[in-house]
Structure 1
Amino acid sequence: MPPADDPRPADPGDPPEAGGLHAVGGYRLLRRIGEGGMSTVYLSYDVTARRPVAVKLLADHLAGRPEFVSRFYREARLSQFLQHPNLVQGFAAGFDTGPRVHYLVLEFVDGPSADAALGRARRLGVGAGVRLGVDIARALGFLHARNLVHRDVKPDNILFSPDGGAKLADLGLAKRLNDDSGLTAVSQGVGTSYYMPYEQALNGSLVDARSDVFALGATMYHLLTGQVPFPGATHEEIIRGKEVGRFAPVRSASPEVPAAVATVLETALHRDPRSRYPTADEFGAALAATGLATRVPSYPIGTVPPGDGPHLDAPTRVDFTSGPPLAAGSCP
């Protein structure tokens, strides 16, 4: 397999698991590095800029559904407009009329997702978990200062960078506060069941910075203890647990987690938003104040074996109404 900065395809005679597709929009597809229900991501090469990139392809079965196409291009615009060291940067997007596929070109982060790392190691060390929390809180604080809420913070949307930090990905569900443009229908939840707060499950429009604080707290709880704070086999079962608001204390789930870190996470996980940290910046500052942050355990993604841990594609309820995408060139 050629290295990430090698412009050659992985094997000219072996299509990179994309139905024989070797290039999209002028970007060479090298190998598949991620796949979900909505899209597939390929390590690719930007021939013009001479750099490795990640190319995300919208799933064929969603290409004819305007609400999902709108979300895809919303992520494209936001990822290009918003530049922060702890956000995955977007470079370009478009529709290739040859293979008839929507594509999004992103910064290539040569490290695993927190989801993949958890599948490999069962749980993160405390120092790595705290560093991840501090970095993602910074990314969220940046979004919140621009009146945007991410709404889908979870292990699969956090990437480990080779520099020992973490980056937040996937802005497809990001919502501008006080925006009723149709991204979320009234009385419908949007997000990922294990990590979203109760108020977001009731109505995806009833969110603010404290909703992302809860989701990051739930993500860190999972990464540090190896279990989610509100388990369940279905969306409804998980949300019933959040309605009650009781979860196993952090140190009960994992005695290795220091009391100072446990207190921070349990504050973030309050059912009542008024009892959480009011901002991601305050959440991140509380984590940093523990003095425990080190580095996340990044490694080239080609070395990550299939995880033998629990499948982290949590029961998800994502409801949309069709709405027009943002005007091209407009501020997200």
Structure 2
Amino acid sequence: MRSVGAGADIVLAEPRGFCAGVDRAIEIVERALAKFGAPIYVRHEIVHNTYVVNDLKAKGAIFIEELADVPPGATLVFSAHGVPKAVEREAEARGFQVFDATCPLVSKVHVEVAKLRREGYEFIMIGHKGHPEVEGTMGQLDDGIHLVEDVEDVARIQPAQEALLAVVTQTTLSVDDAAEITAAVKARFPQVREPKQQDICYATQNRQDAVKLLSPQVDVVIVVGSPTSSNSNRLREVAKKLGTAAYMIDSADELQAEWVEGARHIGLTAGASAPDILVRQVIERLRALGAVSVRSLAGIEETVKFPLPKGLRLDGAAEVNLEHLR
């Protein structure tokens, strides 16, 4: 059996795993189930993680993409990625009881888009086509918002006017890639308005910075995250750009022994939607392959916490415990 190098250690990035927006979104579904009973309907995966989604399915959550699949009078939760205005209007028209689990940092972008639109602005959005967060942000407007995925796209877009033009970004992008594309936007449209604070969220930034610190110190980086998770994919890309072999896995079962064969230092991190239980299982898998110790790098301690929507307060006896995921 292939094994890691003699005396190999596992080096944990810090921070890693759940962010405040993911914590909040999962807790909204958990509390809705506890308060109203199953089933609770959720539009799209609440967060992009297979383990989390399956855990909530087992408790009575039903994940749907079309509101036509939700029965009248049901309780509906919008995912952490946000939804277009048309979906909000349809849910209201159908009379659902709605709890919005959109990450507050995504909602901040929505508010900014609405505010500047009233002032006559058009928008350039930097993001990945088809990602639900991008669809949600672009869906705040009927027109006047142009998606760019890379520097080449910047040369192709044709806004109706350039005097009032603002740039917004998907919150889970690569910080470096977003900066490069933003520079191209500013070069073509020098008057473009940028956000007062960048749209890329604190957790995305912190996890990417942690991987930048981790990568030069290890032989290989393992990222725990689902294939659909944008921020997890970015962590793998960050490590690879720094010249370190990097692999992303949805669970410990996917870790291939040859990836870590002979490695003395194995870096381990997790995307913002990946629960810590998966990290613990990967550590056990690496121990089985011969790793002998685990240590954490120093990093930023995150203390952000977002409030829950009104209507989901529970009595003390019914409080939801998320420790099994953390």
TM-score by length of 1: 0.22
Q: Which has the larger radius of gyration?
A: 2
Structure number with higher relative contact order (C-alpha < 8 Å, ≥ 6 residues apart): 2
